[in-house]
Amino acid sequence: MAVPFINFLAPSMGGIGPIELADFNKLQRLQQTSGVPFYAGRFYPKDNQAIIDGLQLGLISQTPPWLTWERIQPTQIWMVPAFEDERIVTMNVTIERIDLWPRDEDDYEGVEEPTKSELVNFVPPGYGGSVEADAWGSLNLLPSFNGSIDPGVEIKQNLSYIPPIITLGYLGIAEVQGFCSEWGFYDQELTIVNGTRYGQEQYGYGGADALGYDYSEVIKVRPDGAWIYRDAEIPESGELPSYDDLADRGFFVPYVQNSAYYNSAIFEEQYAYRFGNQYWNTLTGIDDSGNARAGMITEIRTSQLDCIVYTIKVACTTIVVPDTLTGPDEVVRQELAAAALESFASNLSNNIWYFYLPVRYNGEIPNQRIEYLLNNTAINRINLDTDQ
């Protein structure tokens, strides 16, 4: 069988390192919900800040989670044969499962009750189950070839620039690079209020200006589509309703998504700093006539998931190379058959390994996104026009 090369300097050098003592309890809880049979180590992206920050290495390093949008320099994962007569033929690395990183009370020191209990016992929104399944995937216990569920993470399999003559089957190498996007943080939402009072006469049910009526609507932009409440009563002043109870009013047909989560996920770097994704931009951007599509954004809900964990699966194919065979044909055939059976058993049961990578939500980029979205609303553009 193939086994991972565990590097105790991985927190600073990158690669697969040991499981940190502080993570054991969380991993045991994680296995109960994720279906992962075991974790053999933790993946550390290259250029981790462990040494720079003065943290200890190895089992007690307590390295902080990786941050979203932080660049992952090409980081290799190595697998080696467990036995002298074994060779690695292929190696495939996938990220096909994401979960909520379990929370402990120690994670929220200084937070007062009942808020602390709410954070520790947080349950992610379900959205009927479909969004979570799309955003977090599902674990396949057999070898698979799905790459990474997060489009921001690129995996290079069986590195082609390393000639096989160098490794001779004694080393399997794959490489992870890119960045962890906000793909796994699926609970982000917008609440938009539109109406003629924001100078949006050109919109409405057929065009309020052309038909001569006032209109108002609330659009709840969620990962499963845009829920709309027409003729909503919008107060002139004071606190606005939360609009969390609008889902039972149904979808507004033009905004329903066929590939709902893929269209609404935030994973493209070129959009992340601005409007988030093209789906949000359709509802909040400026149209060709210079009119704001969003009258007022009353809420931009950033992720409450806080920290998620990627499960990295490594599957190898190995063969057993028998010693130089001499002697009667019958003996040679028996040796070859034994080697074939040993190879089959190895690939059947012992060549899949699992590693984990905690990833924390980075609030820096969402702050820029919020500013961009708010500046494009009709109410803010009206105020800017007045100031001029």
Residue 232 shares a structural domain with residue 153: no
pLDDT of residue 148: 95
CA distance 194 to 230: 10
- Both tokens of 205, joined, read 């049910």
Q: Using the 3D structure, point to which of 301, 328, 344 is the last residue of a domain.
A: 301
Q: Are residues 148 and 219 both part of a single domain?
A: no
pLDDT score for 169: 59
pTM of the model: 0.85
Judge if 248 and 344 occupy the same domain: no
Question: Domain check: are 23 and 127 in the same one?
Answer: yes
Q: Is 385 helix (H, G, I), strand (E, B) or coil?
A: helix
DSSP letter string, 134-174: HHHB---SS-----BSSTTEEEE-S-TTS-HHHHTTS-EEE
Block means of pLDDT (10 residues each) for the chain, 388 residues, are: 78 88 92 92 79 50 86 91 73 93 90 91 83 90 86 83 51 91 95 89 82 86 83 76 61 53 90 93 90 91 95 85 55 49 50 93 92 92 52
Coil, strand or helix at 122: coil
Q: Are residues 91 and 235 in the same domain?
A: no
Instruction: Identify whether 366 is part of a domain.
Output: no
Same domain, 221 and 120: no
Owning domain of residue 198: 189-301
What one-letter code names the amino acid at 164?
Answer: P
Measured from the Cβ of residue 278, the count of other Cβ atoms closer than 10 Å reads: 12
**Please, where are the H alpha helices in 265-328?**
269-272, 278-284
| Cβ partners under 8 Å of residue 155, min gap 6 | 93, 94, 95, 147, 148, 174, 175, 176
Q: Given 272, 301, 330, which residue is the final one in a domain?
A: 301
Number of domains in the chain: 2
Other beta carbons within 10 Å of 339 = 18
CA-closest candidate to residue 295, choices 351, 370, 238, 219:
219
**pLDDT recorded at residue 88:** 78
Which pLDDT does position 257 carry in this prediction? 53
pLDDT number for residue 229: 82
Alpha helices in the chain (DSSP H): 10-13, 24-34, 115-120, 130-136, 164-167, 208-211, 260-264, 269-272, 278-284, 329-349, 364-375, 378-387
d(CA 99, CA 27): 11
* Domain end point (choices 262, 277, 301): 301
372: in domain: no
168 in a structural domain: yes
